[in-house]
Amino acid sequence: MFGLKARRHLTREVAITPPAPELSRHGIAIVACVKDEASYILEWVRFHKAVGVRHFHLYDDGSTDGTFDVLERILRPEELTVVPWKMRMRDEETGELLNGQTIAFAHALLNFGGKYDRMAFIDVDEFLLPKKGRTLQEALQGAGGFPNISLPWHMFGHGGHISRPAGPVCVNYTKRVADPMRQHLDASNFKCIVDPVEVTKVSVHHFETHSYGGRTANDAGKTVPRKKRKAAEFYSAEFIQLNHYYAKSVQELKEKTERGWSFDGSVEKYKNKVATTIKYIEENVVEDRSMLEFVQANGIELSA
What is the CATH number for 281? 3.90.550
* Other beta carbons less than 10 A from residue 295's beta carbon: 19
- Residue 276 in any domain: the answer is yes
Interval 246-272 mean pLDDT: 78
User: Mean per-residue pLDDT for 114-128?
Assistant: 98
d(CA 221, CA 239): 10
- When divided into structural domains, the chain yields a total of 1
Domain for residue 280, yes or no? Answer: yes
- Tell me whether residue 84 is exposed, middle or buried, using C-beta atoms within 10 angstroms of its C-beta: 0 to 12, 13 to 18, 19 or more: exposed
Binned at pLDDT 50, 70 and 90, residue 1 comes out as very low
Spell out where 77-174 has E strands. Answer: 80-84, 118-121, 126-130, 148-155
> What average pLDDT is seen over the chain?
91
pTM of the predicted model, to two decimals?
0.93
pLDDT, one tens digit per residue, over 211-237 is 999 999 999 999 999 999 999 999 999
Does 293 reside within a domain?
no
- Asked whether residue 300 is domain-assigned, the answer is no
Cβ–Cβ under 8 Å, residues 154 and 244: yes
Q: What is the pLDDT of residue 9?
A: 47
Q: Would you say 138 and 132 are in contact if contact means Cβ atoms under 8 Å apart?
A: yes
Neighbours of 151 (CB within 10 A): 26
What pLDDT band is residue 149 in, cutting at 50, 70 and 90? very high
Beta bridge partners of 152: 190
Answer whether residue 55 is part of any domain: yes
Nearest-10 crossing angle of helices 67-74, 41-50:
30
CA distance 276 to 272: 6
Distance CA 125, CA 247 (A): 9
Q: Residue 105: what residue type?
A: F
What distance in Å separates the CA atoms of residue 270 and residue 272, rounded to the nearest whole number? 5
The residue segments making up the domain with residue 238 are 7-286
**pLDDT band at residue 261 under the 50/70/90 scheme:** low
Residue 63 in domain: yes
Identify whether 298 is part of a domain. Answer: no
CB atoms under 10 Å from CB of 273, counted, come to 16
Residue 74 lies in a domain: yes
What's the rounded mean pLDDT across residues 96-110? 92
Q: What is the pLDDT of residue 87?
A: 74
